[in-house]
Structure 1
Amino acid sequence: MSKWEWKEFEDCIERVKYTTKIPSKDYLQEGEFPIVSQEDCLISGYWNDRIDLFKVTKPIVIFGDHTKVLKYIDFDFVLGADGVKILCPKDYLNAHFFFYFLKSVNFDNLGYARHYRLLKELSVPIPPLSEQKRIVKFLDEEFSKIETLKTNAETNLKNAKELFETTLEKELNPLSRHSERSEESCAELPSGWEWKKMRDVCDVRDGTHDSPKYHKEGYPLVTSKNLKNGLIDVDNVKYISKEDYEAINKRSKVCVGDILFAMIGTIGNAVLVSEEPCYAIKNVALFKKSTLINPKFLQYILNSSFILEKMQQEAKGTTQRFVGLDYLRSFQIPLPPLSVQKEIVARLDKLSENVKRLEANYKQIIANCDELKKTILKQTFQGGN
């Protein structure tokens, strides 16, 4: 770093004349010119008016004043909504080197406030241009290797999820095995299987549809929004009084072994209740534990794509889709004997465990890739690579 000079941030950039910034509500899905905003994605939308085009005569860096997002831009574009800062480095500063340096800085998070003032506090390293180009080449090559590793991990993660979904469909939808048969013969089920309405295999209820008074503390009121990834998420749950809790539970008390199911919005997300509940439910379907159906089998089939797709197609409502209690009670599922249900659950449980382990590994690889990029940037600009 002995040959490196240091200059104040504002001494390193040229003044630029901004073109009109386009409000996000006016972005086009398709168009002649790309819109670059402060959001994570490189291109946020499109625009057709050439008069609003910002001409890039040499590469620049975009900084999100609210988001801290950084982008290296070497093409003409239209400015997105408020918050876009154009950083045009002076001739002694390679734009890609400048971009990488800024990526190495760990900016404080000021929320949705303006972050440009943090840039003004920076001192920028200025090695000779030949050294800047060498560093850019080194970082490009290293990041390309990391990106390949990350892409492979993301592909494997997607494949692991698809493997489970495909197996779930094969195990629970016997009709999928006869896709080449006529529509009439597709109604046939394997020996021992039957089409059963939900009300014939278990007691189907739902939570309250009223809006009780909420309190800062009390008993949680679980809604469709709290059902996520097979679990009940109570991070943003609202609380009700003991009186309302007891009143709601007179008609829809939740017990261990029951299934909760989102009826409104994102239909589905079936959750098997495994711990003694101390909450009430609202706008959530309740499938009570039954001797006629394995609860884990019921959870799997309610989360299967062929069931959910049918429900979503038949759901009512426009702004917010929903399925009603009568609909769920009359909904038909293919049901094998209990012994077969148990075998299917055992196979799916084993596969689910293996897939979750793979997903955790791939997610860790992806996280490691992001951290490795940060480490390389830090060593480059603090170690004088």
Structure 2
Amino acid sequence: MTQKNKLPKDWKWVKLKEVCEVITGTTPPKSDMTNYGKDIPFFKPPHLWDGLIGETEEMLSSKGATKARIVPRNTVLVTCIGNLGRTGFVMKEAAFNQQINAILENEKIDGKYIFYQAQSPTFRNQLGKLATGTTVSIVNKGNFETISIPLAPPNIQQAIVSKIEELFSELDKGIEDLKTAQLQLKTYRQSVLKYAFEGKLTNKKVKEGELPKGWKWTNVKNITTLLGDGLHGTPKYDPDGDYYFINGNNLTDGKIEIKENTKKVSKIEFEKYKKQLNDKTIFVSINGSLGYTAFYNNEPVILGKSACYFNVKEDIDKHYIRYIFTSQRFTNYSIKVATGSTIKNVSLKSMREFEIPLPSIEEQHRIVQEIESRLSVADKMEESISQSLFQAEALRQSILKKAFEGKLV
């Protein structure tokens, strides 16, 4: 049994440079594309995800390998520029760029032992404290080599690795099950909406492929008093302004979300570009990320072009209409009618022509109640899953902390 902050017998604190060789990567010149081919995997920070790594989409040729730094299998890679501390364990001979430091295993230290060390709170905290740079965090090789690690005897290292992998295997299975449940909830939500707009949530006798009695097909233009989009340009920003310039990415689950990077404008700009919005206004993103929605609730905002707005008529339940725009029905339609290869755009004409199944206003209210009853249960389950995933990550860090305090084996 170990005391707090005290290592077990035969363990000792060492600096990386005392027990390991550290190598910083390089990038062969891309001015000569013959440096690249199919011979040696070439890793960059996005390829490191705290797991085993082998193949990558970017490879070096044998010529390029002579201009790179090649490391053998069982080498640990750690990002030291930008997003610090991402790790990878090399399964075969590989090269890597200058944003990564490699730690080579030897007879004193097992590769997997240092791999899990590099993911531990102690290691990553030291890495963060060693960082320099204002815009981009950097830990140079000299500083990186000063990181201290608890070194166990070789046989204990192997036992620790085995125990970590046993526990992580169980943990990963649990995480996989949680993520599967998340996907199932997403499918369930869409199933609820599909049945809702087929009339099946409130009418069990609906025939497949037919609308219930009293329903009709109509277009968005027939249920709205006004439909338009935002400013096709850039307003004059004012960091001291009291009004916000929002776009489609500010629409989140029925609400307008003001983010840290949301630009502000003055009252003059607001008066120049404001739209005729009211308590029956619905926003839908129609440029870039499609189908995000929000209601207008007297927020001090002007719109950019990626946000479409429309005011539904008095005899229309705005919640019913918003749910249609969050359903797979609109997703499929937007994919079909969107223009643009890189950035997708749904025109206002297409928005006006979008067909919706419309029951009586009383039925709309009932359907909204049924949808919200079911989705509220799904939301609670989603919250529970998210909390469990957070706890799983905390448990992973706890396992690593105990492992390198000598409390796991």
Q: Same fold (TM over 0.5)?
A: yes
Question: Once the 2 structures are TM-superposed, how far is the Cα of residue 73 of structure 1 from its aligned partner?
Answer: 1.8
**Where does residue 108 of structure 1 map in the other structure?**
128
Match of 1:147 in 2: 172
Q: Which residue of 2 aligns with 1:199?
A: 221
Q: Which residue, 53, 60, 70 being the options, matches 2:75?
A: 60
Who is 1:131 aligned against? Answer: 156
The aligned counterpart of 2:268 is 243
Please state how far the C-alpha of 1:92 moved relative to its aligned partner.
1.0
- Structure 1 distance, partners of 2:349, 2:26, is 57
Q: Could you tell me which residue of structure 2 aligns to residue 4 of structure 1?
A: 11
> 1:301 maps to which residue?
324
In structure 2, stretches of 5+ residues that fail to align are 1-7, 201-207
C-alpha distance in 1 between matches for 2:376 and 2:313: 25
When residues 295 and 36 of structure 1 are mapped into structure 2, their CA distance, relative to the original with a 3 A threshold, is same
Alpha-carbon shift at residue 190 of structure 1 (Å): 2.9
In structure 1, what is the Cα distance between the partners aligned to 2:328 and 2:161?
46
TM-score with structure 2 setting the length: 0.81
Matched to 2:186, the amino acid is: K
**Cα deviation code 1:314-366 (max 9, x no counterpart):** 12233322222233223221212222211211111011111111111111111
Partners in 1 of 2:162 and 2:10 — Cα distance?
19
Query: Deviation at 1:112?
Result: 2.7
Conservation of the 8 A alpha-carbon contact between 1:60 and 1:73: yes
Evaluate the alpha carbon distance shift between residue 339 and residue 220 of structure 1 in structure 2; reply closer, same or farther with a 3 A threshold: same
Residue 217 of structure 2 aligns to a residue whose secondary structure is strand
Instruction: State whether structure 2 residue 93 is matched by structure 1 residue 76.
Output: yes
8 Å contact 2:76–2:103 — kept in the other structure? yes
Q: Distance in 1 between matches of 2:110 and 2:295?
A: 57
1:203-222 equivalences under 5 Å are 203=225, 204-218=227-241, 219-222=243-246
Matched, 1:47 2:65: no
**Cα gap change, 1:318/1:15 in structure 2, threshold over 3 Å: closer, same or farther?**
closer
Structure 2 residue aligned with 1:159:
184
Q: Deviations over 1:52-98 (max 9, x none)?
A: 4676545110011122211122322343x431222102311111111
- Among candidates 112, 116, 132, match of residue 96 of structure 1: 112
* Of 362, 365, 368, the match for 1:342: 365
Deviation of 1:205 after TM superposition, in Å, equals 2.7
**% identical aligned pairs:** 21
Give the C-alpha shift of residue 370 in structure 1: 0.7
Structure 1: runs of 5+ lacking an equivalent: 176-184
Query: Which residue in 2 is equivalent to 1:224?
Result: 248
The structure 2 residue matched to 1:233, chosen from 232, 254, 257, is 257
The correspondence for 1:37, drawn from 17, 26, 44, is 44
Question: 1:32 offset after TM fit, Å?
Answer: 6.6
Displacement of 1:13 in angstroms is 1.5
- In the superposition, the TM-score normalised over structure 1's length comes to 0.86
Contact 1:36 1:45 in 2 (8 A): no
| Residue identity in the other structure for 1:102 | A
